[in-house]
Amino acid sequence: MYSTLVFTVTCILFPSLTLPYGEVSEQMCKKYSAAVYVIEPDLGMSSKSHFNNVSECGIVSVPLIIGGKEATEKEFPHFALVGFGGSPNEQLAWYCGSSLISEKFLLTAAHCSRSAEYGPAQKVRLGMLNLGVDSDEDDDIVQEEVIKRFIVHPDFKSVKKYNDIALVELQRSIKFTPYVRPACLNVNPTEKTRGIAIGFGKTDVDSAESSKVLMKVTLDLINTKTCSEYFPSNPRMEQGVVSSMICAGVLEGGKDTCQGDSGGPLQIILENPYCMYSIVGVTSFGSFCGYANSPAIYTNVSYFIPWIEDTVWKNI
């Protein structure tokens, strides 16, 4: 006869190792900040080989920009243009901006997914300061990549003004250089009173042409109550200005984003990590570019951090 042995198996459940929303973005911010530096050989007299980390920071130290000014080389290495069309017989039309946030993902506006005239977004171009210069002349600076997926936020509806945010996934990873590297994401409501907007949009509302050079401007961040006075409830904004939006501009007029700036970043300069921007908002829409009492609306990045992290860093 054989006796029967009964084994009791005790399952030990380990706590989830998933990081809280926001912490992934902060960790990646620190990781990507390493791209500020390049490794160069120490040319000292020592016979041994030594290498130094050399900063390639291009951020201008004066944070306040009076009026629109031209951006400088390496100042906004996360900025990218979004191109539409590009059939064999036509050039790409660069109509929206975006921000590099990882090796393969960029942040932009949902309404930039396609152009009524040129069709869906096809490519992104990074490291570009001047549209009047052939990108082939800047092969060591400019990077152009094909869009694999344009991921519009699931709650965005083109007939409404809410949830105007999207992620662009690229076919291939971007090579980080002093001219092209990611920005950080703002994970909490900012206490800053000003942000910097950039883009190739119109510099004059009456002009038919967009700017040929990347422009920057400092804008006041305006509280929701004040902003609601300029954006009353209407069929496309039934709830008025909500927490998923940020209002920015200069109420005295003269400084603003305009047509062609859509999808580009509203950002602040971080003190830590060194030489990094944090994307606070995504340029969405406005009423009258640069007019007095006419601020613009930006999609509030911190509101959408869970969706962004689940899409970009879902395996972390």
Q: Examine the pLDDT at 8 and tell me if it is beyond 50.
A: no
Contact indicator for 296, 282 with CB cutoff of 8 Å = no
| Statement: residue 37 has pLDDT above 90 | yes
pLDDT, the chain, mean: 87
Domain total of the chain: 1
**315 vs 153, which has greater pLDDT?**
153
Does residue 30 fall inside a structural domain? no
**Non-local CB neighbours of 164 within 8 Å, separated by 6+ positions:** 109, 110, 111, 153, 156, 282, 284, 285, 299
Catalytic residue among 98, 99, 164, 284: 164
Tell me which of 98, 262, 284, 302 is the catalytic residue: 262
Q: Which of 170-179, 230-239, 287-296 has the lowest mean pLDDT?
A: 287-296
Q: What integer pLDDT is reported at residue 158 of this predicted model? A: 93
pLDDT at 261: 83
Strand partners, 316: none
**Quick check: is 42 in a domain?**
no
| Percent of the chain's residues with pLDDT above 90 | 66
Residue 251: inside a domain, yes or no?
yes
Q: Is residue 221 part of a domain?
A: yes
Q: Identify the residue with better confidence: 116 or 49.
A: 116
**Is 164 labeled as catalytic in the residue annotation?**
yes
Whether 29 maps to a domain, the answer reads no
- Interval 171-209: pLDDT, tens: 999 999 999 999 999 999 898 999 999 998 766 555 556
The pLDDT > 70 percentage for the chain reads 81
Catalytic annotation on 262? yes
Residue 10 — very low, low, confident or very high, per pLDDT cuts 50/70/90? very low
What range defines the domain where residue 115 resides?
A: 63-233+240-312
Per-residue confidence (pLDDT) for residue 203, from 0 to 100: 62
User: Residue range 47-59: average pLDDT?
Assistant: 81
Would you state the pLDDT for residue 2? 45
**What is the average pLDDT across 284-301?**
83
**Domain assignment present for 16:** no
Contact 24, 305 (CB under 8 A): no
**What pLDDT does residue 3 have?**
47
Instruction: Point out the catalytic residue in the list 78, 111, 256, 278.
Output: 111
pLDDT at 11 over 70: no
CATH number at 272 reads 2.40.10.10
